[in-house]
Chains A and B, each alone.
Chain A
Amino acid sequence: MTRQTRLPAPWRFYLGLDQPEPSTDWYAEALVTPARPEHLWRRFPLIDNGDGKPVPLPRVLFDALDKLEAEGAPARIIAAHRFHFLKAAASRGAGFQSDETFTAFEAMLDLSDAGREELSHEWERLKPFLPLSGHLLQPDHTLPLWLYRESLNARFSERRTAWCAELKHLADRLLDILRVEDGKQPRDAETLNAVLGKPGELFDTEAMATILSVPKGTPTMSAERRRRIADTLSVLAEFLQNPVKDLILCHRESLPCLADHPMQTASDGFQRAAEIFSGRVERLNRVFRAVRAARLELHGDYLPERHDLLLARFDWRDCTEDERFQLPQILVVERAEYLKGEHLGRFAALTASGLPLRVLLLRDAIELPDPNLGHIDIASVARACRGTFVTQTSTARPMHMLHGWNHMLEAIGPAVMVAAVPPDNCDTPLLLLEAALMSRATPLFHDDPNAGAHQAERFSLDGNPDPEAALAGDPPVTPADALSLLPRARHHFLPVTEEEPATAPLPQVLSSDNEDALPVIQALNEDETSRRVYIDGTVAGWCAALAADWRILQEQAGIDNPHAQRAAREAREEAQAELSQKEQEWKQRLEDIRDEAGREAMTRLARGLLDLEPDSLLPAARPLPSPTSPEAAEEPAEEVEPKPSPQAEPEEENYSEEPYINSAMCTSCDECTNLNSLMFKYNGDGQAYIADATRGTFEQLVSAAESCPAHIIHPGEPRPDDATATPEVLQRAAALP
Chain B
Amino acid sequence: MLGLKTDWVLEPEPRDYALADYEGCQAKWCPGCGDHSVLNAVQRLCRDERLPPEQTVFVSGIGCSSRFPHYMKTYGFHGLHGRALPVASGIRARRPDLNIFVATGDGDCCSIGTAHWIHALRYNMKMVVMMFDNNIYGLTKKQTSPTTRRGRRTNTHPDGAFLSPMNPITVSLGVPNASFIAQTVDWNPPHLYATLREAFHHPGFAFVRVMQRCPHFTGDNFELFQTDPSKILLMTHPDGVPVDDALIRTFTTRVEHDPADRMNAFNHAMREDVLPIGLFYRDEEAEHYDSYTREGLDTTPAEKVEAMDKLLDLYCV
**A interface list, Cβ under 8 A from B:** 165, 168-169, 172, 175, 292, 295-296, 299, 301, 306-307, 310-311, 313-314, 317-320, 412, 664-671, 674, 684-687, 707, 709-711, 737
User: In this assembly, does B213 line the interface, its C-beta being within 8 Å of a C-beta of chain A?
Assistant: yes
Q: Cβ of A311: which chain B residues have Cβ within 8 Å of it?
A: 10
> 6 new A-B pairs (CB below 8 Å) besides A318-B5, A664-B190, A668-B36?
A306-B9, A314-B6, A317-B1, A667-B189, A668-B39, A710-B187
Within B43-81, the residues touching A (CB, 8 Å) are 43-44
Closest to A303 in B: B13
A661 to chain B, nearest CB (A): 13
Within B188-236, the residues touching A (CB, 8 Å) are 188-190, 213, 215, 226-227
Of the stretches B26-34, B147-155, B261-269, the one at the interface is B26-34
The answer to whether B37 and A313 touch across the interface, beta carbons within 8 angstroms, is no
Q: Cβ of A687: which chain B residues have Cβ within 8 Å of it?
A: 40, 189
Closest to A166 in B: B298
The answer to whether A669 and B190 touch across the interface, beta carbons within 8 angstroms, is no
Contact of A707 with B32 at beta-carbon distance under 8 Å, contacts A318-B5, A668-B37, A669-B37 already known: yes
A-B contact pairs, 7 of them (CB 8 A): A292-B7, A295-B12, A307-B10, A311-B10, A664-B189, A665-B190, A711-B226
- Give the distance in Å from the alpha carbon of A175 to the alpha carbon of B302 in the complex: 13
The answer to whether A685 and B6 touch across the interface, beta carbons within 8 angstroms, is no
User: In this assembly, does B140 line the interface, its C-beta being within 8 Å of a C-beta of chain A?
Assistant: no
B38 to chain A, nearest CB (A): 9
The answer to whether A674 and B10 touch across the interface, beta carbons within 8 angstroms, is no
Contact of B1 among A292, A295, A318, A707 (CB under 8 A): A318
The answer to whether A669 and B33 touch across the interface, beta carbons within 8 angstroms, is yes
User: In this assembly, does B25 line the interface, its C-beta being within 8 Å of a C-beta of chain A?
Assistant: no
Contact of A667 among B5, B9, B34 (CB under 8 A): B34
Q: Cβ of B36: which chain A residues have Cβ within 8 Å of it?
A: 667-670
Q: Cβ of B227: which chain A residues have Cβ within 8 Å of it?
A: 737
Closest to A671 in B: B31
- Give the distance in Å from the alpha carbon of A306 to the alpha carbon of B12 in the complex: 12
The answer to whether B31 and A670 touch across the interface, beta carbons within 8 angstroms, is yes
Q: Cβ of B290: which chain A residues have Cβ within 8 Å of it?
A: none
- Give the distance in Å from the alpha carbon of A686 to the alpha carbon of B34 in the complex: 14
Give the one of B13, B36, B190 with max A CB within 10 A. Answer: B36
Q: Cβ of B13: which chain A residues have Cβ within 8 Å of it?
A: 301
Contact of A686 with B19 at beta-carbon distance under 8 Å, contacts A295-B12, A320-B7 already known: yes
Contact of B19 among A310, A665, A685 (CB under 8 A): A685
Contact of B44 among A317, A319, A674, A686 (CB under 8 A): A686
- Give the distance in Å from the alpha carbon of A376 to the alpha carbon of B34 in the complex: 83
Contact of A685 among B12, B44, B188, B298 (CB under 8 A): B44
| Nearest 3 interchain pairs by C-beta | A667-B37, A668-B40, A301-B12
Q: Cβ of A412: which chain B residues have Cβ within 8 Å of it?
A: 1
Contact of A665 among B6, B188, B300 (CB under 8 A): B188
Q: How many residues of B contact A (CB 8 A)?
A: 33
- Give the distance in Å from the alpha carbon of A77 to the alpha carbon of B9 in the complex: 70
- Give the distance in Å from the alpha carbon of A684 to the alpha carbon of B33 in the complex: 21
- Give the distance in Å from the alpha carbon of A664 to the alpha carbon of B9 in the complex: 37
A410 to chain B, nearest CB (A): 14
Q: Cβ of B300: which chain A residues have Cβ within 8 Å of it?
A: 172, 175
Q: Cβ of B108: which chain A residues have Cβ within 8 Å of it?
A: none
User: In this assembly, does B133 line the interface, its C-beta being within 8 Å of a C-beta of chain A?
Assistant: no
- Bits for B296-317, please: 1 = Cβ < 8 Å to A, else 0: 0010100000000000000000
Give the one of A169, A685, A686 with max B CB within 10 A. Answer: A686
Closest to A709 in B: B32
- Give the distance in Å from the alpha carbon of A706 to the alpha carbon of B18 in the complex: 31
The answer to whether A686 and B31 touch across the interface, beta carbons within 8 angstroms, is no
Q: Cβ of B9: which chain A residues have Cβ within 8 Å of it?
A: 306, 310
Q: Cβ of B6: which chain A residues have Cβ within 8 Å of it?
A: 310, 313-314, 318
The answer to whether A674 and B31 touch across the interface, beta carbons within 8 angstroms, is yes
A618 to chain B, nearest CB (A): 52
Q: Cβ of B106: which chain A residues have Cβ within 8 Å of it?
A: none
- Give the distance in Å from the alpha carbon of A674 to the alpha carbon of B37 in the complex: 15
A422 to chain B, nearest CB (A): 40
Q: Cβ of A172: which chain B residues have Cβ within 8 Å of it?
A: 298, 300
Q: Cβ of B298: which chain A residues have Cβ within 8 Å of it?
A: 165, 168-169, 172
Contact of B187 among A296, A310, A320, A667 (CB under 8 A): A667
The answer to whether A684 and B19 touch across the interface, beta carbons within 8 angstroms, is yes
- Give the distance in Å from the alpha carbon of A306 to the alpha carbon of B300 in the complex: 33
Closest to A668 in B: B40
- Give the distance in Å from the alpha carbon of A670 to the alpha carbon of B6 in the complex: 49
Q: Cβ of B1: which chain A residues have Cβ within 8 Å of it?
A: 317-318, 412
Contact of A709 among B40, B44, B215, B246 (CB under 8 A): B215
Q: Cβ of A165: which chain B residues have Cβ within 8 Å of it?
A: 298
B138 to chain A, nearest CB (A): 15
Q: Cβ of A667: which chain B residues have Cβ within 8 Å of it?
A: 34, 36-37, 40, 186-187, 189
- Give the distance in Å from the alpha carbon of A684 to the alpha carbon of B7 in the complex: 34
A133 to chain B, nearest CB (A): 32
Contact of A684 with B18 at beta-carbon distance under 8 Å, contacts A314-B10, A318-B5, A320-B7 already known: yes
Contact of A292 with B189 at beta-carbon distance under 8 Å, contacts A172-B300, A686-B44 already known: no
Q: Cβ of A737: which chain B residues have Cβ within 8 Å of it?
A: 227
- Give the distance in Å from the alpha carbon of A306 to the alpha carbon of B10 in the complex: 9
Q: Cβ of A296: which chain B residues have Cβ within 8 Å of it?
A: 10, 12
- Give the distance in Å from the alpha carbon of A710 to the alpha carbon of B188 in the complex: 8
- Give the distance in Å from the alpha carbon of A252 to the alpha carbon of B199 in the complex: 64
A446 to chain B, nearest CB (A): 21
Closest to B37 in A: A667
The answer to whether B31 and A669 touch across the interface, beta carbons within 8 angstroms, is yes
Q: Cβ of A295: which chain B residues have Cβ within 8 Å of it?
A: 12
B278 to chain A, nearest CB (A): 18
Q: Cβ of A671: which chain B residues have Cβ within 8 Å of it?
A: 31-32
Q: Cβ of A317: which chain B residues have Cβ within 8 Å of it?
A: 1
Contact of A709 with B213 at beta-carbon distance under 8 Å, contacts A301-B13, A671-B32, A674-B31 already known: yes
B264 to chain A, nearest CB (A): 30
- Give the distance in Å from the alpha carbon of A674 to the alpha carbon of B186 in the complex: 20
B31 to chain A, nearest CB (A): 4
Q: Cβ of B12: which chain A residues have Cβ within 8 Å of it?
A: 295-296, 299, 301
Closest to A686 in B: B40
- Give the distance in Å from the alpha carbon of A296 to the alpha carbon of B10 in the complex: 8
- Give the distance in Å from the alpha carbon of A491 to the alpha carbon of B46 in the complex: 84
- Give the distance in Å from the alpha carbon of A664 to the alpha carbon of B36 in the complex: 14
The answer to whether B215 and A686 touch across the interface, beta carbons within 8 angstroms, is no
Contact of A310 among B10, B39, B186, B213 (CB under 8 A): B10
- Give the distance in Å from the alpha carbon of A668 to the alpha carbon of B43 in the complex: 11
- Give the distance in Å from the alpha carbon of A709 to the alpha carbon of B213 in the complex: 9
Q: Cβ of A320: which chain B residues have Cβ within 8 Å of it?
A: 7
- Bits for B154-196, please: 1 = Cβ < 8 Å to A, else 0: 0000000000000000000000000000000011111000000
- Bits for B232-248, please: 1 = Cβ < 8 Å to A, else 0: 00000000000000100
A401 to chain B, nearest CB (A): 28
Closest to B13 in A: A301
B68 to chain A, nearest CB (A): 14
The answer to whether B32 and A666 touch across the interface, beta carbons within 8 angstroms, is no
Q: Cβ of A307: which chain B residues have Cβ within 8 Å of it?
A: 10
The answer to whether A292 and B40 touch across the interface, beta carbons within 8 angstroms, is no
B297 to chain A, nearest CB (A): 8
Closest to A675 in B: B31
Contact of A292 with B188 at beta-carbon distance under 8 Å, contacts A709-B32, A709-B215 already known: no
The answer to whether B32 and A686 touch across the interface, beta carbons within 8 angstroms, is no
The answer to whether A665 and B189 touch across the interface, beta carbons within 8 angstroms, is yes
